[in-house]
Amino acid sequence: MNVGQLTQSAFLDDDQFLLKHLPGNESNLRELRAKIHSLNIDNLELVKFVLLVGPTGTGKNHVARVCAGHRRWLQIRDAKDELDPGKSYVDRIAPLDEYLDRFGEQMLPAIPEGLVESHLFGHVKGAFSGALKDNPGLFRDEGYQDILLDEIGEAPSFLQAKLLAVLEGRPFTPVGGISKQMAKCDKRIFMATNRDLPKMVAEGTFREDLFFRVRRYTIKLRPLSDSPDLIPDIAAAIIDRLWPKRLRNEDKRPPALSAADNDWLKKQRWDGNVRELEEVIELWISAGCPPDVHKVAATRHFSAQRLTVAPQDVNTAVRTSIREILAGKRKAPRGMSAFIDQFTATIAAEVGVALQSWYREEKPTTDTLKKLFPDMEVGSIRTQMSRFGRNQ
């Protein structure tokens, strides 16, 4: 859809629901909040399907839920007979899940192939073995006003044609149904994927006509590592969302991460994006919110997380890492390549130079080298250190 076709009223970025559930002051977050505000305020009747694209774990499902939850929050706020789930909260906004009573979602690859049509389009009683009663299906369920089709890029070819018909507004019948049971989908449909749909079209694995239809209104999400300054705000929102309800009922508010914890979070690569950050926060809460979040994270795979360091800070970062290893504060790497690999690939050469600089200046003893790289022979360590200089 051409953005110029959309109506957009002045957006002051003061919507408390969106600020709570999509926090952050960077331009891409402000733009995202503005898009959701526009979808729910100005273009609710115009935009009937939204494509969410981005790498795995960037929060595509969360954005769909926030958009659906925001729509529901507006309905409750403006209605006289709706029960407000936020009335017992200080900011009068409940956790996001409280506003998703009219939101349905389905991960397409998780549905057995023989049941895909039944799950989405519904079936009538007796349509197949085990169909003991009518099922409206996701597209016809009157309880939903917003639905999410996750992993749209994984839709099998037979389903792609049927989805195109739904998105074009054509009526469909439930499995085993007759013509008088035909219905149209009146839901707003979100579709999410981490796949390269244009490439799939070129390869013939995704229908071109379906792609042209779903791409009309697209929201692109960036990797978490592109916006490290957003991480503390996102982490705080995750803490608020995951904080146990029983503790809320006891008036125990969730704790804030320390400045040191937030600094550590900002330095991680987050290959798994927001999903990986959520895993760490969940571990931290389940461990009782101890002072050092990195110690909790290290109980999983985070001991091998790579650090994001500005090029001018490489020398300092390398020497700090060496000191922490020698002091027993950080696990020693298996070898020199593993030491370098804890930093991002873009600064690998600078890390090697900084490591050699430390070696030349400090003239480490055999015992120090063994402690720093316990799995390597000392002769091999000294040889590799000398190679860094020749390779530059």
Q: Are strands 146-150 and 103-107 parallel, antiparallel or unpaired?
A: parallel
User: Which fold does the domain 227-304 belong to in CATH?
Assistant: Helicase, Ruva Protein; domain 3 (1.10.8)
Tell me the two tokens of residue 114: 């023989």
Domain extents in the chain: 3-222, 227-304, 311-391
Same fold, 3-222 and 227-304: no
In contact, 147 and 190? CB cutoff 8 Å: yes
> Tens of pLDDT along 87-104?
888 888 999 999 999 999
Q: pLDDT 10s per residue in the chain (392 long)?
A: 444 456 666 788 999 999 999 998 889 999 999 999 999 999 998 999 999 999 988 999 999 999 999 999 999 998 888 888 888 888 889 999 999 999 999 999 888 888 899 999 999 998 888 888 989 999 999 999 999 999 999 999 999 999 999 999 999 999 898 888 889 999 999 999 999 999 999 999 999 999 999 999 999 999 988 889 999 999 999 998 888 777 766 667 788 999 999 998 998 888 888 988 998 898 898 888 888 888 887 766 554 455 555 555 677 778 888 888 888 877 787 677 777 766 655 456 677 778 888 888 888 898 898 888 887 888 778 877 776 544 44
* Number of other CB atoms surrounding residue 1 within 10 Å: 15
CA distance 387 to 263: 33
CATH class of 3-222: alpha beta
Q: What is the dihedral of CA 267, 16, 99, 247, to 10 degrees?
A: 60
pLDDT tens, 51-100?
A: 999 998 899 999 999 999 999 999 999 888 888 888 888 888 999 999 99
Q: Nearest-CA neighbor of 285 among 302, 273, 297, 271?
A: 297
Contact (Cβ atoms closer than 8 angstroms) between residue 54 and residue 60:
yes
Burial (CB count <10 Å: 0-12, 13-18, 19+), residue 222: middle
Alpha-carbon gap, residue 52 to 255, rounded angstroms: 32
pLDDT in tens, 110-154: 888 888 999 999 999 988 888 889 899 999 999 999 999 999 999
